[in-house]
Amino acid sequence: METKASLDRGSGHPGFATPGLGIEPDIKGEIIDPTLYRGIIGRLMYLTASRPDIVFATSICARYQSKPKVSHLISVKRILRYLKGTPDTGLWYPKDDNVSFNAYSDSDYGGGKTDAKSTTGGAQFLGERLVSWQCKKQTPVATSTCEAEYVAAASCCSQVLWIQQHMRDYGLNFLTTPIHVDNKAAIAITKNHVYHSRSKHIDIRFHFIRDCYEKKLIDVVKIHTNEQRVDLLTKAFDKNDF
């Protein structure tokens, strides 16, 4: 991959600022070979299966595959240099008796540079072990932070139900799985059906999370923003915060 991207030889950079900090459509920029760019993105997407720390950056860069510019290639190379500088970073699954099941959901409100669409982020943990994660641009254009967070929570709920079904095959029954959300209004919409003024326009398919809450399949728990574990999947950080 390093050769394909014509990456300069030398050491990588463990300090990493996500490309989302500055990547834009760049209308006036110089167009590069789309085949080269898509090839690198494809390889990075493969790596995200074991490197959740590059998921958000890769997903942002992947949005510009139709007409990539030089500036986009520079952002992709930043990811490659980060990977080169952190070869020992990865997921670790030591033996642990703690089999509790927790989930976290978050979103960035209107983070899309071209369409103002928000990004959904979700992560699921068995004990303290990360077993599943999601980073995806939302289909609807959210009209508020509350709506963006609610849509993200519904997406996370879908993944939680899928994991619950698999765990039952192993004799583990995780009812009332907590989904940690850092938005009070989104939690209120989930728990209170009469919260009509903020929810009447939201696509009905996202309201299934209410049914899951009523059936006690999941719970929605308030968490402080500073303790939100999935910020890494929805927001750009500079190298000091990353």
Half-sphere exposure of 214 (CA within 13 A, CB side): 9
* pLDDT tier, 19 (very low <50, low <70, confident <90, very high otherwise): very low
What's the rounded Cα separation, in Å, for the pair 157 and 177? 9
Residue 116, pLDDT above cutoff 50 = yes
Q: What is the percent of the chain where pLDDT is above 70? A: 87
Residue 83, pLDDT above cutoff 90 = yes
* Helices of type H across 27-132: 34-47, 55-62, 70-85
How far is residue 206 from each of residues 4, 81, 238, measured CA to CA in Å?
Answer: 41, 38, 32
pLDDT, tens digit, 9 for 90 and up, residues 64-76:
999 899 999 999 9
β-strand partners of 132 = 124
Given a contact cutoff of 8 angstroms between Cβ atoms, the answer to whether 146 and 186 are in contact is: yes
SS3 sequence of 130-195 = EEEEEEEECCCCCCCHHHHHHHHHHHHHHHHHHHHHHHHCCCCCCCCEEEEECCHHHHHHHHCCCC
Residue 38, pLDDT above cutoff 60 = yes
- Confidence at residue 201, expressed as pLDDT on a 0 to 100 scale: 81
Give residue limits of the domains in the chain: 19-85, 101-233
Contacts of 188 (CB under 8 A, 6+ apart): 195
Lowest mean pLDDT among 86-95, 101-110, 151-160: 86-95
CB atoms within 10 A of CB 144: 15
- Confidence at residue 197, expressed as pLDDT on a 0 to 100 scale: 67
Residue 123 burial class via C-beta count within 10 angstroms: exposed 0-12, middle 13-18, buried 19 and up: buried
User: Which tokens sit at 136?
Assistant: 């995806």
Residue 237, pLDDT above cutoff 50 = yes
Residue 41, pLDDT above cutoff 90 = yes
Closest among 71, 53, 60 to 16, alpha carbons compared: 53
- Confidence at residue 54, expressed as pLDDT on a 0 to 100 scale: 94
pLDDT, tens digit, 9 for 90 and up, residues 158-172:
999 999 999 999 888
- Confidence at residue 164, expressed as pLDDT on a 0 to 100 scale: 96
Average pLDDT score over residue span 179-199: 85
pTM check: above 0.95: no
How far is residue 66 from each of residues 69, 73, 111, 125, 194, measured CA to CA in Å?
Answer: 10, 13, 20, 35, 43
Given a contact cutoff of 8 angstroms between Cβ atoms, the answer to whether 15 and 89 are in contact is: no
38: phi then psi, degrees, rounded to nearest 5: -65, -35
Given a contact cutoff of 8 angstroms between Cβ atoms, the answer to whether 135 and 202 are in contact is: no
Amino acid occupying residue 77: K
- Confidence at residue 7, expressed as pLDDT on a 0 to 100 scale: 61
What average pLDDT does the structure give for the chain? 87
* pLDDT tier, 151 (very low <50, low <70, confident <90, very high otherwise): very high
Residue 184, pLDDT above cutoff 70 = yes
- Confidence at residue 236, expressed as pLDDT on a 0 to 100 scale: 78
Residue 20, pLDDT above cutoff 90 = no
Residue 124, pLDDT above cutoff 60 = yes
Which CATH fold topology does 101-233 show? Nucleotidyltransferase; domain 5 (3.30.420)
Average pLDDT score over residue span 76-89: 92
- Confidence at residue 213, expressed as pLDDT on a 0 to 100 scale: 96
